[in-house]
Structure 1
Amino acid sequence: MEDEYDILACPINCFLDTGDYINKFNCGIDSINDFFSNKAMELDAINQARTTIFFDKKNKKIVGFYTITTASLIIEDKDNQIPKEIPVVNLSFLARDLFYKGKGFGNFMINELYYSLTIISFSLGFSLLTTTALNSATDFYKSVGFSPVSVDPDKVEYWVEEFQMYINYENMVQLAEYRPPLVDNVKS
């Protein structure tokens, strides 16, 4: 894989000539393509989300992207029965172009996210990384350390389109592999 690709990870607001590359991105899900081409840059500009792009310099294509936001979950403290607020980072979107399907880039992008969040955690406290996973992506999220919030997707006897999933901070840090902040090469 190293010889085939030369990957650069960068924030969407630092990515030059975005229009053509972003409009050619196709993950196979129209709503995600629409978000990426029409909303990601806007939300970044008003500081409501951060999108990181993975660009293949050899093939001149966007491999994929992820978008994160911050939030808080309100949970009931079982001991005191008082609602408790938990700070979280939410993985709003994770997508890779169909051209790169089955080549390990989903794992690569998640690892880069985990590594970046370990660095961010020195300045921003959070307990969980959460996501709403499409039914078709739950196995992938489980393979990279996420757990279902309440119902295990493998045990549901009816069709559910999305599942709430999470990974706690400690597990995320253990799974993160060191990579330089701006990645120059994908390593297999």
Structure 2
Amino acid sequence: MNDFFINEALNLDEENFLATNVYMQKDSIKGFYTTSASTLTITNQIHPFGPPISRETMTEFAAIKIQYFAVDLSIQNSGLGKAMMFHLLSNLLVADLLYSIGFKVVYLEALSEATDFYTALGFSYLNPWEENNPILKSSLMFINYDDLINYYYF
């Protein structure tokens, strides 16, 4: 994880493409997440986080994308990932209230072995048919703004 962080996320953060937060213990990275402003395109007629307010034909929604979310294997299932996600999503709500950053949804591409983790934190499958598909390696998952307010307080 340290090599990936140094070679990928840190470089993108330094170039101001993404923002990365790191959780350290002593001199070792134990977890990190990287986010970016984004848009999420919905191509089907069903909008999983509610219909657009301004235009019924709207297909792109302001979003925050969690590009990377990782916890060191040696401490997974210790509660660090849950605490990191709580910190991330709570801070997004505060930032929106203070600075009106404006987003409708937070989304990520979850590896198949991590989908239960994200579901327990309030995320849903963007494409519901992916939920029980064992051949997929990853799925897009999201949490909408209204659910953020219900799940995360600040």
2:110 aligns with one of 124, 133, 138: 133
Q: Deviations over 1:79-105 (max 9, x none)?
A: 976343210000111101122122111
TM-score (norm 1): 0.69
Q: Are 2:129 and 1:160 equivalent residues in the alignment? A: no
1:72 aligns with one of 26, 39, 44: 39
Q: Is the 8 A contact 1:49 1:68 kept in 2?
A: yes
Partner of 1:92 in structure 2? 67
In structure 1, list runs of 5 or more residues that go unmatched.
Answer: 1-24, 27-32, 179-188
Partner of 2:48 in structure 1? none
Quote the Cα distance in structure 1 between the aligned partners of 2:149 and 2:24.
25
In structure 2, list runs of 5 or more residues that go unmatched.
Answer: 46-50
Query: What does residue range 98-117 of structure 1 map to in structure 2 within 5 Å?
Result: 98-117=73-92
Q: Are 2:117 and 1:150 equivalent residues in the alignment? A: no
Q: Which has the higher contact order (CA 8 A, sep 6+)?
A: 1
Q: Deviations over 1:11-66 (max 9, x none)?
A: xxxxxxxxxxxxxx46xxxxxx52x121212211221100000122xx44222000
Aligned-residue sequence identity (percent) comes to 28
Quote the Cα distance in structure 1 between the aligned partners of 2:81 and 2:125.
19
Query: Which residue identity is paired with 2:31?
Result: G
- The number of residue pairs the alignment matches comes to 144
Q: CA-atom RMSD, angstroms?
A: 2.2
Runs of 4+ residues over 4 Å off in structure 1: 76-81
Partner secondary structure for residue 137 of structure 1 = helix
Partner of 1:37 in structure 2? 6
